[in-house]
């Protein structure tokens, strides 16, 4: 950007980004996917409208269109007091289960507005993976020693990586922890490389 472009150029660039070449095109794609999944799953129209409102607020935070649409519908149905099992939406979605779970966790965190401390994520992942408290303590020690390396990172990935390092990379534990956190194995491995045990 050059200085002579000024505020008018910035306003036009923002408009261009948010019109059909950016935000609106993405919203249209997600809206079509929400409609398709809603119709297939037999969810009420009110759930689709609430899901679209949710997506409109957090359109740039969604990773995949199909996973984001299924997650938004699932959360919208829950928030409207008509909860449905995730399997209803997974049956109609093109995304896999872990991607939809990841998208739902992220959307839920964004809606609530406040992210819990990293220690809570470690406890949740350890409970899902059925790990003992000694591993949780060791993982929290690892994270405490690496505060600069964990700033701004995905807390689910960090929790799984620290627990994996706390178990001394036990055989089979990586897949178990990635599944418990709803993240990819590659993401956990990459985070573990950044963290020193």
> How do the domains of the chain map onto residue ranges?
3-112, 118-194
Distance, in Å, from the CA atom of 41 to the CA atom of 21, rounded to the nearest integer, reads 30
Q: Is 180 exposed, middle or buried (0-12, 13-18, 19+ CB in 10 A)?
A: buried
Distance, in Å, from the CA atom of 131 to the CA atom of 74, rounded to the nearest integer, reads 29
Q: For the domain 118-194, what is the CATH superfamily, name and number?
A: Cyclin-like (1.10.472.10)
Statement: residue 61 has pLDDT above 70 = no
The model's pLDDT over 107-164, given as tens digits with 9 standing for 90+, comes to: 887 777 766 788 888 999 999 899 999 999 999 999 988 877 777 678 888 999 999 9
Statement: residue 40 has pLDDT above 70 = yes
| 60 — pLDDT class (breaks 50, 70, 90) | low
Distance, in Å, from the CA atom of 22 to the CA atom of 44, rounded to the nearest integer, reads 29
Instruction: Please determine whether the domains at 3-112 and 118-194 fall in the same fold group of CATH.
Output: yes
When the pLDDT of each residue in the chain is averaged and rounded to a whole number, the result is: 82
Distance, in Å, from the CA atom of 109 to the CA atom of 76, rounded to the nearest integer, reads 14
Average pLDDT of the residues in 48-52: 88
Q: What angle do CA 77, 80, 81 make, to 5 degrees?
A: 90
CATH class of 3-112: mainly alpha
- Determine the 3-state secondary structure of 62 from DSSP: coil
Statement: residue 106 has pLDDT above 90 = no
Under 8 Å between Cβ of 71 and 34: no
CA-closest candidate to residue 34, choices 114, 95, 85:
95
């Amino acid at each position: 950007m050059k200085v002579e472009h000024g505020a008018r150029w910035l306003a036009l660039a923002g408009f261009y980004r948010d019109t059909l070449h950016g935000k609106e095109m993405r919203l249209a794609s997600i809206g079509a996917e929400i409609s398709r999944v809603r119709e297939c799953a037999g969810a009420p129209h009110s759930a689709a409208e609430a899901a679209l409102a949710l997506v409109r607020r957090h359109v740039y935070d969604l990773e995949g269109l199909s996973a984001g649409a299924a997650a938004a519908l699932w959360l919208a149905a829950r928030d409207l007091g008509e909860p449905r099992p995730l399997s209803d939406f997974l049956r109609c979605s093109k995304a896999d289960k872990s991607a939809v779970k990841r998208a739902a966790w992220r959307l839920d965190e964004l809606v609530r507005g406040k992210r819990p401390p990293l220690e809570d994520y470690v406890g949740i992942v350890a409970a899902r993976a059925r790990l003992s408290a000694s591993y949780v303590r060791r993982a929290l020690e690892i994270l405490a020693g690496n505060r600069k390396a964990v700033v701004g990172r995905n807390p689910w990935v960090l929790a799984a990586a620290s627990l994996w390092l706390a178990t001394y990379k036990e055989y089979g534990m990586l897949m178990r922890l990635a599944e418990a956190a709803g993240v990819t194995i590659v993401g956990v491995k990459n985070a573990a490389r950044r963290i020193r045990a």
